[in-house]
Chains A and B, each alone.
Chain A
Amino acid sequence: MLNSGISVLFEGVNLERLLLGLLVTLRVALIAVVISIVMGILIGIIRTSKSKLVQILFKLYLELFRIIPILVWLFVIYYVIPANFDLNLSAEVVALIVFSLWGAAEMSDIVRGAIISLPKHQTESSKALGLSVSQMYRYVLIPQATKRCIPPMINLITRMIKTTALLTMIGVVEVIKVGQQIIEVNNLEHPTISFWIYGFVFFLYFVICFPLSRFSRKLERKWAT
């Protein structure tokens, strides 16, 4: 009885389809991560500026993504933009936009935190040595800040991968959606199928996220001073 469900997993192309679905999930996550790291570093450096206006503007941007759930952002972009601006966005593009904006906001906070947590004398001594601003960042601040950034950044990447599960709610055909399709086809013949499929997807997410979070903890311990 219980076994009939698990056998479907390995029947025909089911497993292959699930893994292809997982690729869609990971593709969105990967592109969004790359965009948000690049944007996050830029915004993070901008946010260390002394200008109050810059600080408030970017703080507002960060808080908007912190306070409003990502699922709501996905819905807002997915439904509001096509309806009001005559612009057709596929669900995957919407997901990329939301995840990049959110990721960039969170990354910028990590980068900014790392830079301002560096002791003040680092900046002062590099100025005393006559380094230009770009040299100061290039040779003094960024190398030191990188070590403090990487563990929280990996944590954020794990969070972003986990959050991609929400893509199924705006109709991206990723791993969960494929799982649901397989369930719908086989549900009558194999009633336990949903237990196994959802269990398997659960396992897939775990297999991806667990090594990442282990890795970040290891780095954190290694670089702790």
Chain B
Amino acid sequence: MTFDWQYIVDVLPHYKTALWLTLKLATIGIAFAIIVGMICSIIQYFKVKVLSQIVQVYLEVARNTPLLIQLFFLYYGLPKIGITLSGELCGIIGLTFLGGSYMAEAFRAGMEAVTKSQIETGKAIGLSNLQLMRYVIIPQAFSYSVPGFGANCIFLLKETSVFSGIAILELTNTTKNLMGIFYKTNEALLMLVVGYLIILLPLTLFLTWLERRVRHAEFGN
């Protein structure tokens, strides 16, 4: 196996652009996914009528179908009934749709971990439901669910590789294109692996650190 290093230097700018695009889409998607997930799990926590059933259906559909099909449906299917979305927007929506359900699961586990005594004490000192949520449950639940969120972030970042199916020029698709033009498969794939490692290795380390940091919000620490 030989590598043409000069070629790698030449295509470096393409990978830089692709890396940023991957990061950008993933960040936006993950941020929305966390918001959607938290809203869903709060709805389910309070068992809001009708809404919680809708959320349940959403969670099952999102968790039991592959992202690639969700994206194909958004990108190729929806325009035929009059809804046209750009590739990047499809990617973000797809990632949010998929990620929201996973984040909801993580946050639900976090909320269930908040002890009963905490909630009862909050009620006893006269907090309203909203205040109870805002000052007692959410802060603790958030710190409990950080490990879950972290694992999901890594999972969703990896899922962005699927975006190559709908013509978004992120890392995987850029690699595919470069391979098609120059036939330098070894070099292109090496850069692809390196690209993901550049994003994911620091993220993994950061999340391990973060997990330890947020522990202070937990009751009893």
Contacts and interface: CB of A to CB of B under 8 A. Distances in A.
Interface of A: 2, 5, 66-72, 75-76, 79-80, 83-84, 158, 162-166, 168-169, 176, 183, 191-199, 201-202, 205-206, 209-210, 213
B200 interface: yes
Contacts of B76: 183, 194, 198
Contact of A69 (B1, B161, B165, B176): B161
Interface string B150-170: 000010001101101100000
Nearest to B69: A202
Interface stretch (B5-13, B32-40, B60-68, B131-139): B60-68
B54 interface: no
Contacts of B196: 67-69, 72
Nearest to B70: A202
Contacts of B65: 162, 202, 205-206, 209
Contacts of B158: 67-70
Interface stretch (B42-50, B77-85, B122-130, B209-217): B77-85
Give the interface centre of A80, A165, A169, A199 by most chain B CB atoms within 10 Å. A165
B162 A198 contact: no
A67 B164 CA distance: 18
A70 B162 CA distance: 10
Contacts of B165: 168-169
A199 B172 CA distance: 25
B89 interface: no
Interface of B is mostly: helix
Given A66-B154, A69-B196, A194-B76, 15 more contacts: A68-B158, A68-B197, A72-B189, A75-B189, A76-B189, A80-B189, A162-B64, A162-B66, A168-B165, A176-B72, A183-B76, A193-B80, A198-B77, A199-B73, A202-B65
A131 B54 CA distance: 54
B185 interface: yes
A166 B186 contact: no
Contact of B69 (A2, A67, A169, A198): A198
Give the interface centre of B61, B154, B189, B201 by most chain A CB atoms within 10 Å. B189
Nearest to B201: A67
B174 to A, nearest CB: 12
Contacts of B64: 158, 162, 205-206, 209-210, 213
6 contacts: A2-B81, A68-B200, A166-B68, A195-B73, A202-B65, A202-B70
Interface of A is mostly: helix
Interface of B: 1, 60-61, 63-70, 72-73, 76-78, 80-81, 154, 158-159, 161-162, 164-165, 172, 175-176, 179, 185-186, 189, 192-193, 196-197, 200-201, 204
Given A69-B161, A165-B69, A169-B164, A76 B78 contact: no
Contact of B60 (A192, A194, A202, A210): A210
Contacts, number: 116
A108 B162 CA distance: 26
Contacts of B73: 195, 198-199, 202
A-B pairs with the 6 shortest C-beta distances? A165-B66, A209-B64, A69-B161, A69-B158, A195-B77, A165-B68
A60 B95 CA distance: 28
Give the interface centre of A68, A71, A164, A209 by most chain B CB atoms within 10 Å. A71
Contacts of B1: 80, 84
Contact of A83 (B72, B164, B186): B186
A81 to B, nearest CB: 10
Contacts of B172: 69, 71-72, 75
Contacts of B63: 209, 213
Contacts of A195: 73, 77-78, 80-81
A80 B186 contact: yes
A79 B80 contact: no
Contacts of A68: 158, 193, 196-197, 200
A75 B196 CA distance: 14
B201 to A, nearest CB: 7
Nearest to B160: A69
